[in-house]
């Protein structure tokens, strides 16, 4: 069983469109994250979310919004997609304190 | 401002060699230092981690050396194998209110030639 699964694996879309990426974890973790990895492999945290608090990286445009229907899911909605949004987006989850992050296998988003 | 500086950006070694990846930090509030390994098409996965009260930690062929006074830590891979070819990230974690904040290095792309 996949611990952190995200769909779709690939997403190709045009500028200006709105898209969503789904993430589910079956580890019972309290906190979930969205990361963006650019072509140089740099990992940038976008959001962290638990059932109490949403923490937003202030550099993330408000076109990006996380939506959590329940503790096991954290979806990412992106409005008005831009060319610069092309990247691999990773969902991750973690338990308490310094427990390791468990990542999904990523969604490669290409905006044309 | 990069709070965790990682070097080199890329590294090529022969099978059996000992690649070393170095990281440095400034903030003494960091209290946990994990290394993540990422294979192409996969998400990063925790490889090994250390706390600053320990100077060295070994897990199999992977060793972290930690120098608290210099605020540096490094990953050594003994008897490296082609299957170790991946991107390696160091990170540093600290408390941030009720949460923890994880700061990532920029990554090192390692290629181990057969």
Reported as a single tens digit per residue, the pLDDT across B63-114 is 999 999 999 999 999 999 999 999 999 999 998 887 788 999 999 999 999 9
The single residue listed with the structure tokens 């290095």 is: B105
Distance CA B80, CA B14 (A): 8
Distance CA B37, CA A33 (A): 18
Name, in order, each residue with C-beta under 8 angstroms of B76's C-beta and a sequence gap of 6 or more: B18, B19, B20, B62, B63, B64, B65
| Residue to test with chain B: of A98, A102, A106, most B Cβ within 10 A | A98
Domain containing B22 equals 4-113
Alpha carbon A112 to its chain's center = 20
Residues of B with Cβ-Cβ distance to A105 under 8 angstroms: 41-43
Sketch out chain A's domains with CATH numbers.
Answer: 4-111 (2.60.40.10)
Whether B1 shows a pLDDT value over 80: the answer reads no
Please state the domain count of chain B: 1
Contact A76, A101 (CB under 8 A): no
Pairing of strands A19-25, B4-7: unpaired
- Percentage of chain A modeled with pLDDT above 70: 96
- The mean pLDDT of B52-59, rounded to a whole number, is 95
- The mean pLDDT of A83-95, rounded to a whole number, is 96
Contact B93, B73 (CB under 8 A): no
Closest C-alpha to B102, from B114, B113, B94, B110: B94
In which band, very low, low, confident or very high, does the pLDDT at B2 lie, cut at 50, 70 and 90? low
Whether A1 shows a pLDDT value over 70: the answer reads no
Residues of B with Cβ-Cβ distance to A98 under 8 angstroms: 32, 34, 49, 93, 100
Reported as a single tens digit per residue, the pLDDT across B12-55 is 999 999 999 999 999 999 999 999 999 999 999 999 999 999 99
- The mean pLDDT of A47-66, rounded to a whole number, is 86
- The mean pLDDT of A72-98, rounded to a whole number, is 94
pLDDT at residue A29, rounded to an integer? 92
For position B48, which CATH number holds? 2.60.40.10
Q: Chain A within 8 Å of B88 (Cβ-Cβ)?
A: no
């Amino acid at each position: 069983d996949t611990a952190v699964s995200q769909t779709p694996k690939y997403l190709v879309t045009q500028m200006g469109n709105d898209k969503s990426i789904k993430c589910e974890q079956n580890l019972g973790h309290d906190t979930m994250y969205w990361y963006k990895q650019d072509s140089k492999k740099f990992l940038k945290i976008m959001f962290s979310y638990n059932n109490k608090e949403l923490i937003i990286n202030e550099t993330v445009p408000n076109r990006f919004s996380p939506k959590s229907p329940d503790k096991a899911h954290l979806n990412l909605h992106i409005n008005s997609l831009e060319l610069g949004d092309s990247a691999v987006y990773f969902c991750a989850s973690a338990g308490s304190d310094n427990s390791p992050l468990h990542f999904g296998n990523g969604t490669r988003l290409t905006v044309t | 401002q990069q709070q965790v500086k990682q070097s080199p950006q890329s590294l090529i070694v022969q099978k059996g060699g000992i690649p070393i990846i170095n990281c440095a930090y400034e903030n003494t509030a960091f209290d946990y230092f994990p290394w993540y390994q990422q294979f192409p098409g996969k998400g990063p996965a925790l490889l090994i981690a250390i706390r600053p009260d320990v100077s060295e930690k070994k897990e199999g062929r992977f060793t972290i050396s930690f120098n608290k006074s210099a605020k540096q830590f490094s990953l050594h891979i003994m008897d490296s194998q082609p299957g170790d070819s991946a991107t390696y990230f160091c990170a540093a974690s600290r408390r941030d209110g009720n949460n923890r904040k994880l700061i990532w290095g920029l990554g090192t792309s390692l290629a181990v030639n057969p």
